[in-house]
Copies of this chain bind each other. A is one copy, B any other.
């Protein structure tokens, strides 16, 4: 699959042009020449290696070393669970913020592990060798999965490092990524959540913005601050509009390699369906929230999460609905199909793949409603029950025959989820299960076999109530006991949630199998064939879709046209934070559920702060979810800000990149330093961050 330099240079000429600053590139394939041509900045191998070795993966985002003593910065919203974990009833660090006055006061976060990508290896040839000629699509998919799992196992045994198989370019490349894992991570400082996420749900996905969305941790080894091989000191060079910024991080998922048929499906079927589904789910949760103040408190996070999803997919739909978006996809696809058709070898493997995918899209459309309604999503208790019903049985099978989440590669995470001691919110969980069952009743009808089996003539709410009232699955010790008690004891246990899961399991399992065999495996196999054809045609002038693995993007600090009709200012300042707070009526008004209130010490600090200090900025790096906490660096590789969001207008970038609207949003390094010094009593950490 590797191309010679000559072949590559020949084919690159034919590759469709990417848009300016487009792409989330792997560190082995950063288009440094394009960057140099546009910005006059040469990013050499040492520069890139330094950024790579300073970037950390959090369980749900990104972070970076910013001092020689292992100080780590990430978003407050990435570190929030950890901050909550080390809080107590007496000391709520999420609400009130935290500053360790000395290193001794830094608080270890049990279980928090950070990953650093040390090296990586292309294993494409070895994985593809596992696929035998004439294999069915789903067997080929399984063969590749198993080959990757075997390679990983061998590699971990050999190196002692944590290895992860990575599929790039929809199967165009397979890699093994080797990580160093840090297990002693301590909280050093964090502002109040109300400042970190000022503006709350209304301002989410928007700009201008005033979020001090950062938290500082420190990595320890052997009880001492860790000395990282690389780190990104806070810059002393003022960032300004037009400056080049570079970002490293772990974008979660994009769909840019999808075919036109898949994107048309997303635009016309998938996303509209999802929006309607989310709206119904939200109404159910809002109804539950009205039950009591406690219910409202518990439901708030779930409602925020739905609102977040609604905004994201609304933005995706806005992007897909611009006529030029799918026109571009169609034209790129026509180019590639033409190239494939003119090459007998490519035509034999990939010539039919677009049609195969289009057929799978038709099946996806037919299955969508059932697949969604049979999922009983959202109830943690039911999820635990289903895992218990399945896990021991699945473990007993050869890995190739298991459901995906019980395969060699996934089993460990599945067990960890089952035994995770995070408390279950019983009332909310019951409401969610009841809603999921009602959704099945109303969308599929009372005569659907799943609905008949699930309800047995009762109301969805009664079924949920009975299962939740009688279960003990909220107790992690009980779940552990069941897991360790063996298949027979588990199968005989009369816990009502287990009983419900046993009834629903065959339906869900059957549908999941259909979804896998008829839809997902076709997408994987033929998406991979198309990706490999794209490789042979264009080489690595393209970048792979996001996979929550390390990537690099770049772009300028820049304005853009907002959906409200004006242009966004490249930077915001502390002045605007107080403007928006005051304009909403201040703390007394507590407008929009208090989204625009400020902690008292921030009001008192106003006179001390240099109010013109830049607070957030908008910049043209190509990011998606997972880039949260990504360090933003300048041409010198110094830390200028921390990425925390991207704007609604650019969410179409999940499918099609558009330079005009793709803007990420970062908290400026200067605002972080000013806040550490003037509000958070953390001048020592500010000094450390600038290398003093």
Contact = CB atoms under 8 A, between A and B. Distances in A.
Interface stretch (A18-26, A122-130, A199-207, A418-426): A199-207
A51 B564 CA distance: 33
B566 A573 contact: no
Interface stretch (A60-68, A86-94, A447-455, A585-593): A585-593
A573 B205 CA distance: 24
Interface in A218-265: 240-241
Interface stretch (A41-49, A392-400, A575-583): A575-583
Interface string A549-580: 00000000001001111110111110110111
A579 B576 contact: yes
A314 to B, nearest CB: 8
B582 A612 contact: yes
Contact of A575 (B311, B571, B579): B579
A649 interface: yes
Nearest to A210: B579
A596 interface: yes
Contact of A563 (B202, B562, B578, B591): B562
Residue of A208, A563, A567, A578 contacting most chain B CB atoms (<10 Å) = A567
A371 interface: no
Nearest to A566: B206
Contacts of A602: none
B569 A580 contact: yes
Interface string A172-216: 000000000000000000000000000100110111100000000
Nearest to A574: B579
Contacts of A273: none
A564 B649 contact: yes
Contact of A583 (B562, B565, B573): B573
A430 B570 CA distance: 39
Contact of A564 (B562, B580, B596): B562
A54 interface: no
A206 B561 CA distance: 12
Contact of A582 (B203, B564, B573, B585): B573
B571 A648 contact: no
A311 B240 contact: no
A584 interface: yes
A583 B567 CA distance: 12
Given A241-B589, A575-B576, A591-B241, A583 B569 contact: yes
Interface size bucket, A side?
A: 35 or more
A33 B216 CA distance: 59
B582 A570 contact: no
A563 B612 CA distance: 27
B565 A571 contact: no
Contacts of A582: 571, 573, 575, 612
Contacts of A564: 206-207, 562-564, 647-649
A205 B583 contact: no
B565 A205 contact: yes
B585 A240 contact: yes
B202 A566 contact: yes
A386 to B, nearest CB: 36
Nearest to A617: B583
A311 B564 CA distance: 11
Contacts of A592: 559, 567
Interface string A617-650: 0000000000000000000000000000001110
A562 B611 CA distance: 26
Contacts of A208: 583
B563 A584 contact: no
A9 to B, nearest CB: 40
Contacts of A572: 579, 583
Interface string A648-685: 11000000000000000000000000000000000000
A435 to B, nearest CB: 26
Nearest to A595: B567
B569 A596 contact: yes
A583 B578 contact: no
A241 B582 CA distance: 12
19 contacts: A202-B566, A203-B566, A206-B565, A208-B583, A241-B589, A563-B564, A563-B565, A564-B648, A565-B647, A565-B648, A570-B583, A571-B583, A571-B585, A572-B579, A573-B579, A575-B576, A575-B611, A576-B580, A576-B583
Given A241-B591, A573-B578, A578-B612, 8 more contacts: A314-B565, A564-B648, A567-B592, A569-B584, A570-B583, A570-B585, A570-B591, A571-B584
Interface of A: 199, 202-203, 205-208, 240-241, 311, 314-315, 559, 562-567, 569-573, 575-576, 578-580, 582-585, 589, 591-592, 596, 611-612, 614, 647-649
